[in-house]
Amino acid sequence: MNDVICTVDVVLLTIKDNGLSVALLKRDREPYKDVLALPGGFVHVREDADARGAAMRVLKEKTGIVAPYLEQLATFSGPLRDPRGWSLSIAYYALVSFEVIGRAGHPDVQMLSVDQRLELPFDHRGIVDAAVARLRSKSQYSSLPCYLAGDTFTLPQLQRIYEALMGEPLNKVSFRRKMAEMAMLEAVEGRMEAGGAHRPAQLYRLKPALREHLAVLERGL
């Protein structure tokens, strides 16, 4: 209508080797054919209920993944970000456990650390950086990191995820008090994980009511 190229891009993040990784795929067409980039695509006006629907469709098509958490990040736009013309990308970020990526087993998806030097096409490096900053900031005062933890997890596993996001060790007692304050976890009955030299640890999961809404701390971690 006004000659704007409308796309969505998804920053799919997970914890791998105790660090944040982002899902990248080699582009299957020009521009930047065969270059690693974020999963993305055009908005399809006949198919997509809205930009969120487009992001979910693109993520599913390109990675095989339906993410439990998908949040709009921001819209990036301008005449120079895409060689095809004035374009905008409504960017989303999604969080999954590394398990989910393994289960999807998509051969083209590469998980690369967000901390390494990644030369990405378009303005995808800026989009990744914005998603990582948003996730790290929200992690300080919410249940958001639980979406990186899989269906069930122990408290030490969850603490390691929070620590990976916040880049520093957390005090175990105050971490557990903050988790209790958010009242977001429920124990999974009768299921324990053998902890090597340690006694078996209780497994937890997010309460069903919190699978789509965040619990929020009044004062951060």
How many residues of this chain bind its own copies (CB under 8 A)? Answer: 27
134 burial (CB, 10 Å; 0-12 / 13-18 / 19+) is middle
6 near its own copies, rule: CB under 8 A: yes
45 near its own copies, rule: CB under 8 A: yes
Nearer to its own copies, 9 or 154 (CB): 9
Nearer to its own copies, 187 or 216 (CB): 216
Nearer to its own copies, 81 or 205 (CB): 81
The least CB distance from residue 87 to its own copies, in Å, is 8
Per DSSP, which regions of the chain are E strands? 5-16, 19-26, 36-37, 40-42, 69-78, 87-95, 110-113, 153-154, 185-195, 198-206
CB–CB of 193/154 below 8 Å? yes
154 has which bridge partners? Answer: 203
Among 182, 185, 70, 60, which residue's Cα sits nearest to residue 134?
A: 70
Restricted to residues 50-109, the positions that interact with its own copies (CB under 8 A) are 50-51, 72, 74-75, 77-79, 84-86, 88, 90
Can you say whether the dihedral through the CA atoms of 137, 138, 144, 146 is positive or negative? Answer: positive
220 near its own copies, rule: CB under 8 A: yes
174 near its own copies, rule: CB under 8 A: no
The least CB distance from residue 16 to its own copies, in Å, is 30
Q: Of 143-151, 168-176, 196-204, 213-221, which part binds its own copies (CB under 8 A)? A: 213-221
- Rg (alpha carbons) of the chain, rounded to whole number: 19
What is the Cα–Cα distance from 215 to 209, expressed in whole angstroms? 10
**What residue ranges bind its own copies (CB under 8 A)?**
1-6, 42-45, 49-51, 72, 74-75, 77-79, 84-86, 88, 90, 218-220
